[in-house]
Structure 1
Amino acid sequence: MLLTVFALLLALSIGVFIVGYVTGYHEIALIGAVIVFGVGVMVTGTTLEYQSGKTEVAVDANETQINYDYTPVETPTRLPLGSLVMLTGGALVLRSLDSFR
């Protein structure tokens, strides 16, 4: 998963959770929490990477092939980023479900 997509989805879903929780629309908060959990699952299943460059190769006189280079994000070995985001999403889901009572 690309780093920019990860950051955008995470910020958007946390924003949806906060807006739903503060305004009392707990269903909206639950949707935001589930999206946070889903982003964590996607990061756990794939690697988090960013675009580090591109290579242009001339195939023939009128055609050029562009290949993008991606570099994985370096995180400390003891910091599983996807698992931490999943745990955060799970905590937000429990918080939003608790507010239905």
Structure 2
Amino acid sequence: MAHLKETIGKYSELIARAALLASGWQAVSKSETEESFDISARDPGTGEWKTFQVKTIRDRREDRGFLTVSGRKGDGQPYTPEDVDFFIGVLIGEGEFPRVWMIDNRGITDYW
């Protein structure tokens, strides 16, 4: 059986891909090899390929007053703009529909 964190991550990726398709992005695909990004897609306006790192949003509204998206790689360093173009933050709440935000990668460790 898959670990809960892995299951949530895969669910977030599926939601992110569906959101891109619903927003007109084309050729939305998941990398089959280990890359710094989770998804690539063609911009509907320019036709340029862009890369996306999907992150599950942490709801910190009760203790800190905001939602956060981690911009960190596994080694703790921030993703650089060369690593990925955008983050897609997916907010998953029990009994709620997931919500999605797309964030420009500014090379910092946390987005809120």
TM-score, scaled relative to structure 2: 0.25
* Greater C-alpha radius of gyration: 1
| Higher helix fraction (1 or 2) | 1
Q: Which has the higher contact order (CA 8 A, sep 6+)?
A: 1
